[in-house]
Structure 1
Amino acid sequence: MNLRISDVMTQDSVNLESESFKDKDELFRHLASLLYKSGKIQSQEIFVESLYEREELGSTYMGNFIALPHGKSMTVNNPGIAFCRCMEGFAYESQGEVGQVKLIFVLAIPKETDPNDYLKVLSMLAKLLMHDEFINELYSSLSYEDVIRAVKTYESIVD
């Protein structure tokens, strides 16, 4: 399986106009609702539980106003990525680290997915987020089409 971010991020799972969140739980529930609406998951509650299970293993706060929470669960129908941009950052706590976040990508991975494939997608996303130009495009995007164009452009650069 050779998943590309641009293959699994749908218009239904991108929110560019989010208000700030009061906490991580509110964020997780919002992102789970986007994945549910896009048909990627069967249960918002079970997926949120998988996000918290993953949080127990290590921080998903990446610094630079970015968080990459992810969950692997039986409730995931198909791999998916939800993206949320908050113009006002909020305090994101993960494994004792606290930082302001504005850009959040959440990965929904089916339980049976090979761990290497899962890590490849996560690694690709992390590589994209190392490019300041990519991050700037995410901040300036006006639509899903802008976001997906930026993802495809930088996927081809780091691939």
Structure 2
Amino acid sequence: MDISTVIDPKIIKTNMEAASKEEALQQLSQLLYTNEYLTDQAAFLKDVYEREAVGQTGIGNYIAIPHGKSAHVKEIGVAIGVLKQEIPWETLDGKGVKGIILFAVGDDTEGAQKHLKLLSLFARKLGNDEVTAALLKAKEPQQVIEAFQG
């Protein structure tokens, strides 16, 4: 699985304005729904919040990777948001979040396998400080894609 085949510029939002985790997740899930990755936005968000209750998805370095397997995912997708300002989020390093990668995967066996592959793929990229810095500076969807390809 190549990262460039997973990232869809239609579900990337740069210069994003949100004051909270809830606002940010609402906006990103709306992008997924509008672009037909989800069958039910509210039910998908409920699944994401159930996963959020299990443990932190803020991985540090101003990045969060919220996710949840959901029966309401029609097509696997990764919505990416780059915020104008840091928002509060439960993170490993105690800082807030400026970059959000929201994974939408089905709750079947195939979805579970792809979920692990996606998390691994993005975690490797996000472990690189240069990739993270480029992502957080991105002003256009194409710059987000380039950050992950770098």
TM-score normalised to structure 2 length: 0.89
Distance 1:32 1:114, change over 3 A: closer
CA displacement, residues 130-151 of structure 1 (integer Å, 9 cap, x when unaligned): 1111112213323222221232
**Counterpart in 1 of 2:104?**
108
- Aligned-residue offset at 1:42: 1.3
Match of 2:12 among 11, 14, 17: 14
Show the counterpart of 1:89: 86
Identity in percent: 32
Residue 71 of structure 2 corresponds to 74
Q: Is the 8 A contact 1:22 1:90 kept in 2?
A: yes
* Aligned with 2:50 (options 53, 78, 84): 53
- The secondary structure found in structure 2 opposite 1:40 is coil
List, as ranges, runs of 4+ consecutive aligned residues in structure 1 with deviation greater than 3 Å: 96-99
The structure carrying a bigger strand percent of its residues is 1
CA contact under 8 A between 2:38 and 2:72: conserved in structure 1? Answer: yes
User: Gaps spanning 5+ residues in structure 2: where?
Assistant: none
Secondary structure in 2 aligned to 1:92? coil
CA root-mean-square deviation: 2.0
Task: Tell me if the contact between 1:18 and 1:87 (Cα under 8 Å) persists in the aligned partners.
Answer: yes
CA contact (8 A) 1:24 1:93 kept: no
Report if the CA contact (8 A) 1:84-1:105 is conserved. Answer: yes
Q: Tell me if structure 2 keeps the 8 A contact 1:4–1:121.
A: no
1:41-96 C-alpha deviation (Å, 9 max, x unpaired): 111101100101111222101111111000211110111000101121011137x9
Task: Choose the corresponding residue for 1:136, options 133, 136, 144.
Answer: 133
Q: Which moved more, 1:65-74 or 1:96-105?
A: 96-105
How many residues are treated as equivalent by the alignment?
Answer: 149
Distance 1:117 1:41 in 2: 16
Cα displacement (A) at 1:114: 4.8
Extract unaligned runs of 5+ from structure 1. Answer: 154-159
Distance 1:42 1:114, change over 3 A: closer
Q: Which residue type is aligned with residue 47 of structure 1?
A: F
Using the size of structure 1 for normalisation, the TM-score is 0.84
